Amino acid sequence: MNTENRININAVERIVSVGVGALLLRNSFKRFNPLVMLPSVYLIYRGVSGRCLLYEALEVNTNETHNINIRSSFIINKPREELYKYWRNLANLPTFMEHLKSVTVHDNNRSTWIAELPGSHREITWDAEIVKDEPNKLIGWQSLTNPFISSAGKVVFKDAPKNQGTELTVVFSYRPPSGIVGEGMAKLLNRSFAHMIRNEVRRFRQMMETGEG
């Protein structure tokens, strides 16, 4: 079997495994505790070799990641031209997206976003650019500079059936860091994040229809 095919741990996990294993091994020598020595040796082996026996049994590979997608759709009783105009000015997004602290527009395509991580008061900053712009139909964007933020999104404006306004569809796609560990954490948060996005789109609908946030 090819050795590379047996590596099923990403670089971050390997470093952590070696570090924790070395720390436990040092403590086990001080107190001569075989119960701690054996797991510490395995953690070091796990990190150095890049192979986890448990992951092999579960057919897990933390070098593989997949995009996580969130989609939300609503009908808003306003013409799509009006909704597009408001959304196209990205500086307006924090007025209904509470997790966004600010969006600073630099030119017609590029902007800087500051957001608060869900469940914490920690802020993250990244640059984004609009990659697709079809007036009154679609706006698509993606992140640029922050290596810890890999995300993209789009909002689609369509006439609702029977002239009932606009069908607004928002799609967010992001790739979590640190392989499947980050992905697993992201999936745990995915439901609450999706709930947050739906609430923010509802807030946008209410604001556009009634003028109230």
Specify if 197 maps to a domain.
Answer: yes
Q: Greater confidence, 1 or 172?
A: 172
Q: Does 156 map to a domain? A: yes
Q: How confident is the model at residue 119 (pLDDT cuts 50, 70, 90)?
A: low
Does 84 lie in the same domain as 34?
Answer: no
Type of residue numbered 113: W
The pLDDT of residue 64 is above 70: no
Residue 23, domain extent? 3-58
45 and 144 belong to one structural domain: no
What does the pLDDT read at residue 28? 72
Quick one: 90 and 50 in the same domain? Answer: no
Amino acid (one-letter) located at 84: Y
152 and 79 together in one domain: yes
Residues 29 and 88 occupy one common structural domain: no
Diameter over CA atoms, the chain: 78
> Tokens at residue 137, please?
């139909």
User: What is the spatial distance between Cα 3 and Cα 25, in angstroms, rounded to a whole number?
Assistant: 27
pLDDT at position 208 is 92
d(CA 200, CA 97) in angstroms, rounded, equals 5
Q: Do 119 and 24 reside in the same domain of the chain?
A: no
Q: Is 63 a member of any domain?
A: no
Q: Give, rounded to a whole angstrom, the gap between the first and last alpha carbons of the chain.
A: 60
Does the pLDDT at position 69 exceed 70? Answer: yes
Does some domain include residue 160? Answer: yes
In a shared domain, residues 77 and 127: yes
User: Into how many domains does the chain fold?
Assistant: 2
Instruction: Note whether 75 and 44 are same-domain residues.
Output: no
β partners of residue 127: 112
**Distance between CA atoms of 6 and 111, rounded to whole angstroms?**
42
d(CA 91, CA 73): 22
Q: Are residues 203 and 112 in the same domain?
A: yes
Number of CB atoms found within 10 A of residue 97's CB: 19
- Same domain membership, residue 79 and residue 41: no
**pLDDT number for residue 117:** 66
Is 171 within the bounds of a domain? Answer: yes
